[in-house]
Amino acid sequence: MIPMVDLKEELEFLREPILKAITEVLDSGEYILGPKGRLLEKQVAEYVGASYGIGVANGTDALYLALKALNIGPGDEVITTPFTFFATAEAIAEAGATPVFADIEGDTYNINPLEIRKKITPKTKAIIVVHLYGRAAKMDEIMEIANQFNLKVIEDACQAIGTEYNGKRAGAIGDIGCFSFFPSKNLGAYGDAGMIVTSDTDLYEKIIALRNHGSQVRYVHSTIGVNSRLDEFQAAILLIKLKYLDIFLHKRKEIAKRYTMELSTLADKTPPVLETREHTFHQYCIELENRDQAAAYLSQNGIASAIYYPIPLHLQEAFKDLNYQEGDFPVSEKAAKRVLALPIYPAMTFDIQNKIISALKDYLNTN
């Protein structure tokens, strides 16, 4: 079976330096909030183009802590997309605020600035933008709305580390950027890990305390926080992988280019090339009328595919109290019925991609 992501080859390529780095951490006796974590915070912040990085336990916590740092809680509304991984809106609810959904653009699957405008009320405090699949959202328009209505902008860049937009990188455009280093992400650890970036010194100091029980000086607690720290083993692994990130992203883009070249006339939709909105292809999604049938055909031919995401968040049982209905976000609902993600990972060979393309062509030419 050709999997969605194959990390084995990457591991073989990096095994030696990773084992060495892990041994260093073992011998150092510093396992949490140590020198590797601090170096990773500095390097990720630099890479992204923000002043500060704060390592946390995972991407979901990054979003939650970003909201807490902005004093967002009960009675506040946060506008976000219904077409994303559950964690984006879960973090808003966990912070005690209300997720308010705004529909997406049909070509990029990112939140539509025109729809954001319709959802603003006196209770709106922030927008969480998701750079879905690795594609930059329409940040100029979104920042303009935020300035006009005095809203904060959190970027859920969990799928988009390295994505460029107008000379900046995802995560460094809004007030706070959030990253996940879940193993299958474009920069992945071998366990859970995450990072927050910001260029605001006050927010930085707040988040540094919030991730560690509201404490900056041991046993002195200025506020109620959480335990959400980045461990030294994951930091050591990520420091090694960060060196290769640009090469890995380049490979993803090359693979995507070839998919589009081969499939654009056969699929109902392939990702458009947009000059100002880079795509780093955490996922490569096409749209098909009979998506499920195509997925079954691929599976019979030994090829995995996946659906990100089959149920838009406004129709999730967990959010039934928000009282949304089918039909509220037609663009998201249509995408959820039609998108199909194809395998993509930096080590994918030409041969493997050929197999995927020819199986899909066989299906599309006869259906």
Ligand X SMILES: *Cc1c(COP(=O)(O)O)cnc(C)c1O
Nearer to ligand X, 156 or 175 (CB): 156
Assess contact for 243 and 46: CB atoms under 8 A.
no
Nearer to ligand X, 47 or 179 (CB): 179
Nearer to ligand X, 158 or 294 (CB): 158
Q: Which residue in 80, 88, 110, 353 binds ligand X (CB under 6 A)? A: 88
Nearer to ligand X, 237 or 267 (CB): 237
Assess contact for 55 and 198: CB atoms under 8 A.
no
* Cα 31 to Cα 187: distance, rounded to the nearest angstrom: 21
The answer for residues whose C-beta is within 8 angstroms of residue 360's C-beta and 6 or more apart is 263, 266, 294, 298, 342
Task: Report the nearest approach of ligand X to the CB of residue 263 (Å).
Answer: 24
* Contact flag: residue 174 with ligand X (CB under 6 A): no
DSSP sequence for 11-72: HHHHHHHHHHHHHHHHHH---BSSHHHHHHHHHHHHHHT-SEEEEES-HHHHHHHHHHHTT-
Please provide the distance, in angstroms rounded to a whole number, between the alpha carbons at the two ends of the chain: 23
Note if 138 is an active site residue.
no
Task: Give the residue closest to ligand X by C-beta.
Answer: 59
Q: Which residue in 47, 52, 64, 182 binds ligand X (CB under 6 A)? A: 182
Task: Report the nearest approach of ligand X to the CB of residue 29 (Å).
Answer: 27
Residues 38, 347, 308: CA angle, nearest 5 degrees? 80
Task: Report the nearest approach of ligand X to the CB of residue 219 (Å).
Answer: 29
Quick one: 220 exposed, middle or buried, by C-beta within 10 A (0-12, 13-18, 19+)? exposed
* Contact flag: residue 130 with ligand X (CB under 6 A): yes
* Contact flag: residue 194 with ligand X (CB under 6 A): yes
Q: Which of 36, 138, 152, 185 does the annotation list as catalytic?
A: 185
* Contact flag: residue 99 with ligand X (CB under 6 A): no
Nearer to ligand X, 17 or 183 (CB): 183
Task: Report the nearest approach of ligand X to the CB of residue 297 (Å).
Answer: 27
Among the residue ranges 3-11, 27-35, 152-160, 261-269, the one whose residues contact ligand X (CB under 6 A): 152-160
* Contact flag: residue 180 with ligand X (CB under 6 A): yes
* Contact flag: residue 284 with ligand X (CB under 6 A): no
The answer for residues whose C-beta is within 8 angstroms of residue 343's C-beta and 6 or more apart is 2, 3, 4, 5, 6, 303, 304, 305, 352, 356
Q: Which residue in 110, 112, 159, 234 binds ligand X (CB under 6 A)? A: 159
Among the residue ranges 54-62, 297-305, 324-332, 338-346, the one whose residues contact ligand X (CB under 6 A): 54-62
* Cα 263 to Cα 323: distance, rounded to the nearest angstrom: 39
Helix (H) or strand (E) holding 210: helix 201-210
DSSP sequence for 261-282: HHHTTTSSB-PPP-TTS-B--S
Site for ligand X in 56-85 (CB under 6 A): 58-60, 84-85
* Contact flag: residue 155 with ligand X (CB under 6 A): no
Task: Report the nearest approach of ligand X to the CB of residue 159 (Å).
Answer: 5
**What b/e string do you get for 57-82 counting C-beta neighbours within 10 Å, with b at 16 or more?**
bbbbbbbbbbbbbbebeeebbbbbbb
From residue 230 to residue 249, the character string flagging contacts with ligand X as x (rule: CB under 6 A) and all else as - is --------------------
Task: Report the nearest approach of ligand X to the CB of residue 88 (Å).
Answer: 5
- Token pair, residue 152, equals 């904060």
Active site residues: 185
Would you tell me which residues interact with ligand X (CB under 6 A)? 58-60, 84-85, 87-88, 130, 156, 158-159, 180, 182, 192, 194
